[in-house]
Amino acid sequence: MTVPEMYGSLVFNDKIMREKLPKDVYKALRKTIDRNTHLELDVANAVAVAMKEWAVEHGATHFTHWFQPMTGFTAEKHDSFISPTGSGEVIMEFSGKELVKGEPDASSFPSGGLRATFEARGYTAWDPTSPAFIKDGTLCIPTAFCSYSGEALDKKTPLLRSMEALNKEAVKVLKLLGNTDVTSVTTTVGPEQEYFLINKEDYKKRQDLIFTGRTLLGAMPPKGQEMEDHYFGTLRPRVAAYMHDLDEELWKLGIPAKTKHNEVAPCQHELAPIFDTTNVAVDHNQLTMEMMKKVADKHGFVCLLHEKPFDGINGSGKHNNWSMTTDTGLNLLDPGKTPAENIQFLVFLTAVIAAVDDYADLMRLSVATAGNDHRLGANEAPPAIISIFLGDELSAIMDAIEKDEFFSAQKKVAMETGAIVLPHFFKDTTDRNRTSPFAFTGNKFEFRSLGSSLSVAGPNVILNTAVAEKLSKVYEDLKDVAPEDLNEAVHARIKEAVIRHKKVIFNGNGYTDEWVEEAEKRGLCNYKTTPDVLPVFIAPKNIELFTKHHILTETEINSRYEILLENYCKSLHIEARTLADMLGQQFLPAVEKTIDRYVTLALKKKQLCETITSKTEKRYIEDLSQAYDTLYDLLQKLTADTEQAESIEDVLAQAKYYQETILAEMAEIRTAADEAERKIPEDLLPYPTYSQMLFYV
Ligand code: ADP
Ligand code: MG
C-alpha cells in the first residue's frame, strides 16, 4: 500500500461518505458537520447503514461509542453488530438510534458529586464533526458524554461549546469589520507530543512506573543529558522501526503525523501532526497517545507519557499550537506582510492578549496536574507564571500603537551563511524563545505549559472561551459606532487593549529569578502547585465567564473542581503507597542483603587471617545500617501521615496536605535511598537502575 492509499483507510471520512451515502443524506450530514445543524433520525439511519457496511467490509464486528470521561483517558464499551434472525442465524445490524445515542452507566466515572444528585444513567451522543474510525475490529464513534439531566461528564462537551462560543463572537466581529463573506470561524490545534521509550523488561520490574507512571526511587546515572547529544540525534534502529510503525498506524486512522525526532533527554522523543480543527485534533491526540503505547508493546518497549518519569532528567510536555481560521480559509492570526496596517489581525491579536492576561489563572489551572507540578517552573518547562512572547516585530508594533507613533517595518534580513553553495533565505522576523509559556510563532500561538499526558481539551476550552469573551467585548464596544467613525474607534480600541494588557507580554528569559520578581511587580499570578491554583476554578469572575458563554453551568464547574481535587489526592495517595511498598518490600531488604554480604565477607576474612582489618566492609556496614535505620523511620512516618491524609475530610485541605507534607516526605526518602543505592551491588538491586533504563535501549 502506498502512503496515500493507507492514509485514512480506517476512517469513515468525507470520501467514503460521498461514495456510500445517497446524495441527499450526504448533503444533510455535511450540513450538520459544517454548520452544526440538527440531524434528523432518517438521515442518521441512512448513515448508520452505510457506516456498518463500510466497517464490516473492513473486518469490524463491533461498534462502540468512544468518549472522553473526566478520567483523562478514553472509554469504550463494545457491542457487536449481530442481531438474531429467529432461525438460529444472525445478521449484522446497526441503526440510526444506536449511532446517535448510547446509554453507558455513568455511575463508575468521575462525576464530582453530580452522581449524588442525579441519576446514574449517562448518555453518549454522536459527534458527527469528528469522523468515526476502526480500531481493533471495532467501529469507534466519537461521542460526547453527559448525565441523565444533561450535565457534561466529559471533556468533549465543553470543548464543542467553547468552539461554538468563539465561532459566534468571532463572526460578529468580522462582520463588524466588513468581512461579511465569513460565515464561521473554527479554532485549529496542532499538538506536539513528547514521550519516553524504555525496554518492557525494565518496566515490568518497576512498581513505581507501573502504578504511578514515574520513578519514585533511583539514583542519577553518571551521564544524564548534560552532553546534549540526544536532541535531534540519529534515531537508533529499534526506535526508528517503532516510529515507522507508529506513523503507519496513525496514518491509517487519518492522523497526519508529520514530524518526529529525538528530544533532549535520553530515550525521549517527539511526534507532531499537522494541525486540524480543535475537536478533531483533541480526538486525534487521545488516539495518538493510545497508539504510542500499543505500538511500543509490539516493539518490546513501553511508552511513558508521564510528565516526569525520571528525576533529574527533563520531563515531557505537549505544545498546543493554536489559531483561528475562517471558512473562507483565512488564518486570523496571520499578520500578513504588513501587520502594522492589518487592523483585523491586530483586533484578534489584542483579543488573545487580553484573554490571556485576564484569564491567566484559568490557563494555569488548565495545565495543573500532580505530574505537571514537577515540570512547571523547574527550568525545563515554562515557568508557572503565564506570560506572552510576541517577538521583536510585534512588540515594536504594540509599542508604536501605544505611543501613537508611525511603525516602519524592518526590512527582511537576508541570512548570511557565509557559504556560496548554500541557498539564500530570509531570516524570520522573530527569533525563538523556549522559555515562554505562550509564544507567538508566526501565525499561531503555542501554549507550552501542557504536560505530556494531558488531554488537550481543557486548555483549549479555556483559550476559546476567554478569547470569545474578549471578542464579545470588542463587539459590544464597537457595534453602535457610525461607519465613518469605525476606523478610528477600532484604533482606539486596540490602543486601549495594548495599554491595559501589555503587562502580560514578556520577551525575555522566563527561567530567571529576576522574571519571577518582575512578574510579581506587574501583578501577574504565579501559582506554583496544583492545590494552589485549583480554587480559581470557582472564583466568581471565572464562573461568570463559563456561564455567560454556556460552556459550563455552575453545577458542572463545582463538580469539575471536585474531580480535579480528588484526582490530585488520589495520584499522590497511590504514589505514597507505592513508595512505601517498594521501600519496605524491595529496597530495605536489598540493603539488608548487602549488609549481610559484607558481614559474611568480613567474618570469612577474619577466619582466614586474624590480622585482616576489613575496614572497607565495616564502613559499608556502618553506612548502610545507618541508612537502613533512617529509611525505616521515614517509612513509618510516611505510612502514618498517608493515613492521616486520608482522614482529612475537606478535599482542598487534603490536597494541600498531600502537597506540603507527603510530597516532602517522599522527597526526603528518595534522597536517602538514592544515596544508599550507590552502595548496593548490582546483583542485589531489586529493580533496574536509571543507567539501565535510560542507556540500554
Ligand atoms: P516547532 O517544534 O518548531 O514548534 P513543529 O513543526 O514541531 O514546530 O510543530 C508545529 C505545530 O504547529 C504543528 O503541529 C503544526 O501543524 C502546527 N500549526 C501550524 N500552523 C497552525 C495553525 N494555524 N493552527 C494550529 N496549529 C498550527
Ligand atoms: Mg513547538
Q: Which three cell numbers stand for residue 308?
A: 516526569
Ligand 2: centre distance to CA 565 (Å)? 30
Across 400-412, average pLDDT: 75
| Nearest atom in ligand 1 to 259's CA | 7
SS3 for 453-514 is CCCCHHHHHHHHHHHHHHHHHHHHHHCCCCHHHHHHHHHHHHHHHHHHHHHHECCCCCCCHH
From CA 435, how far away is CA 549, in angstroms rounded? 32
Ligand 2: centre distance to CA 432 (Å)? 10
- pLDDT tens-digit profile of 207-238? 999 999 999 999 988 776 766 677 777 788 99
Q: Is 275 touching ligand 1 by the criterion CB < 6 Å?
A: yes
- Express as a percent the part of the chain with pLDDT over 90: 81
Among 133, 118, 79, which Cα is nearest to 101's?
Answer: 79
Question: Which residue puts its alpha carbon closest to atom 2 of ligand 1?
Answer: 192
Torsion, Cα of 549, 551, 553, 554 (10° steps) = -80
Ligand 1: centre distance to CA 282 (Å)? 14
Q: Which three cell numbers stand for residue 315?
A: 520531563
Looking at the predicted structure, is the pLDDT value of residue 203 above 90?
A: yes
Helices (H), 503-587: 513-522, 530-533, 540-548, 554-581
Contact 133, 140 (CB under 8 A): yes
The pLDDT value recorded for residue 24 is: 94
Q: Is 322 touching ligand 1 by the criterion CB < 6 Å?
A: yes
The pLDDT value recorded for residue 149 is: 81
Q: Is 32 touching ligand 1 by the criterion CB < 6 Å?
A: no
Read off the amino acid at residue 675.
Answer: E
| Nearest atom in ligand 1 to 191's CA | 14
Q: Best mutation site among 163, 185, 187, 192 for ligand 1, i.e. most ligand atoms within 8 A of its Cβ?
A: 192
pTM for this model (two decimals): 0.94
Ligand 1: centre distance to CA 275 (Å)? 6
Name the pLDDT band for 418 (thresholds 50, 70, 90).
low
Across 368-393, average pLDDT: 93
| Nearest atom in ligand 1 to 270's CA | 7
Contacts of 672 (CB under 8 A, 6+ apart): 627, 630, 631, 634
From CA 578, how far away is CA 636, in angstroms rounded? 14
Across 461-474, average pLDDT: 98
* 233 against 40, higher pLDDT: 40
| Nearest atom in ligand 1 to 275's CA | 16
Looking at the predicted structure, is the pLDDT value of residue 429 above 70?
A: no
Question: Which long-range contacts link 106-110 to residues 24+ away (Cβ below 8 Å)?
Answer: 106/145, 106/147, 106/148, 106/153, 109/69, 109/70, 109/71, 109/75, 109/145, 109/153, 110/69, 110/70, 110/71, 110/563, 110/566, 110/567
Name the pLDDT band for 415 (thresholds 50, 70, 90).
low
Q: Which three cell numbers stand for residue 97?
A: 438510534
CA 403 to chain centre: 39
The pLDDT value recorded for residue 410 is: 59
Q: Is 188 touching ligand 1 by the criterion CB < 6 Å?
A: yes
Read off the amino acid at residue 585.
Answer: Q
Across 122-129, average pLDDT: 92
- The helix/strand/coil state of 35 is helix
- Express as a percent the part of the chain with pLDDT over 70: 95
- pLDDT tens-digit profile of 248-268? 999 999 999 999 998 888 899
Contacts of 502 (CB under 8 A, 6+ apart): 398, 402
Ligand 1: centre distance to CA 444 (Å)? 8
From CA 91, how far away is CA 85, in angstroms rounded? 7
| Nearest atom in ligand 1 to 189's CA | 25
| Nearest atom in ligand 1 to 273's CA | 14
The pLDDT value recorded for residue 235 is: 81
- pLDDT tens-digit profile of 306-363? 999 999 999 999 999 999 999 999 999 999 888 888 899 999 999 999 999 999 999 9
- pLDDT tens-digit profile of 631-650? 999 999 999 999 999 999 99
Q: Is 366 touching ligand 1 by the criterion CB < 6 Å?
A: no
Q: Which three cell numbers stand for residue 675?
A: 544515596
Q: Is 274 touching ligand 1 by the criterion CB < 6 Å?
A: yes
Name the pLDDT band for 109 (thresholds 50, 70, 90).
confident
The pLDDT value recorded for residue 122 is: 86
From CA 178, how far away is CA 181, in angstroms rounded? 9
Across 286-313, average pLDDT: 97
* 229 against 53, higher pLDDT: 53
Ligand 1: centre distance to CA 516 (Å)? 28
Ligand 2: centre distance to CA 446 (Å)? 7
Contact 231, 328 (CB under 8 A): no
Name the pLDDT band for 551 (thresholds 50, 70, 90).
very high
Ligand 1: centre distance to CA 187 (Å)? 13
| Mean per-residue pLDDT of the chain | 92
Looking at the predicted structure, is the pLDDT value of residue 433 above 90?
A: no
- pLDDT tens-digit profile of 573-614? 999 999 999 999 999 999 999 999 999 999 999 999 989 999
